[in-house]
Amino acid sequence: MARSPHHLLESLEAWEAEVAHGLMERLRLAYLLRYFPPRLVWAGFMFVNGFLTIATLAAVAMLSREPALFPSLGPTAFLQFFQPRSAASSPRNTLYGHAIGLACGYASLWLVGLRHAPSVAAVGVDGWRVLAAALSLAATGALMILLRAAHPPAGATTLIVSLGLATEPVQLLMIEAAVAVMTLQAVVINRLAGLDYPLWSRSSRIERGSGQSSSNVGVR
């Protein structure tokens, strides 16, 4: 049954208050809520942790000269800190989702014979590249459904591979390692902040129950 806009707004405000109070109590900064609204406190949490998470991976990429930083990490970080109760943001779905995307992207390159071809950034898009990209995204979506490992940002990860932007096995391993590092950061940060973030996966029972409010976050 569809919820009314008023009910959705109440759920969002209740979630904001819960997150803000949990954060501030655990971090011993509850006094801030006497001066700032919960939404502003929560926005500050997102800003600080989004910055730290991406900055850490950017530093790793700079030092290692490997692709430890790539576009789909942005939406992954957003999910992990904005919807920590969602199954899609759980460590299991995050790690499996990106791994599926990497595997499907790499497989599509082999199938259409583009394994050693220059990337679209160098030569543009042709018919074979269109086929590789379409195959990779279609397979990624289907496998995430079959394996119950939905993680929308993985759709961008598979395109990074099938478009030729990262094709070497060591690069793909580095990308998955970066996802693992980000996920570990999310576990530590969310748990320290007192948020109900799973250590591995979120059961369907919990998702239907305590995770109900998080599914409405951002609906306005």
pLDDT of the residue at 211 = 43
3-state secondary structure 121-170: HHHCCCHHHHHHHHHHHHHHHHHHHHCCCCCCCHHHHHHHHHCCCCCCHH
Which range of residues forms the domain containing residue 109?
5-204
Distance separating alpha carbons of residues 179 and 54, to the nearest angstrom:
11
pLDDT of the residue at 210 = 45
Q: Average pLDDT in the 58-72 region?
A: 82
Distances in whole angstroms, Cα of residue 65 to Cα of each of 59, 118, 181: 10, 20, 16
Length of the chain in terms of residues written: 220
pLDDT tens for 18-50 read 555 666 666 656 666 677 777 787 788 789 888
Is there a domain that residue 95 lies in? yes
pLDDT of the residue at 205 = 46
Average pLDDT, the chain: 82
pLDDT of the residue at 50 = 87
Is there a domain that residue 213 lies in? no
Distance separating alpha carbons of residues 57 and 60, to the nearest angstrom:
5
pLDDT tens for 80-120 read 988 888 999 999 999 999 999 999 999 999 999 999 999 99
Please check whether residue 80 is in contact with residue 89, taking contact to mean a CB–CB distance below 8 angstroms: yes
pLDDT tens for 113-130 read 999 999 999 999 999 999
Please check the confidence at residue 58 and state whether its pLDDT lies above 60.
yes
Is there a domain that residue 148 lies in? yes
For helices 73-82 and 38-64, the axis angle rounded to 10 degrees is: 150
Is there a domain that residue 211 lies in? no
**For residue 74, which phi and psi values (nearest 5 degrees)?**
-60, -55
**Number of domains, the chain:** 1
What is the band of 206 on the pLDDT scale with cuts at 50, 70, 90?
very low
pLDDT of the residue at 84 = 85
Give 210 or 126, the one with higher predicted confidence: 126
Burial code of 71-80, b = ≥16 C-beta within 10 A, e = fewer?
A: ebbebbbebb
Please check the confidence at residue 213 and state whether its pLDDT lies above 80.
no
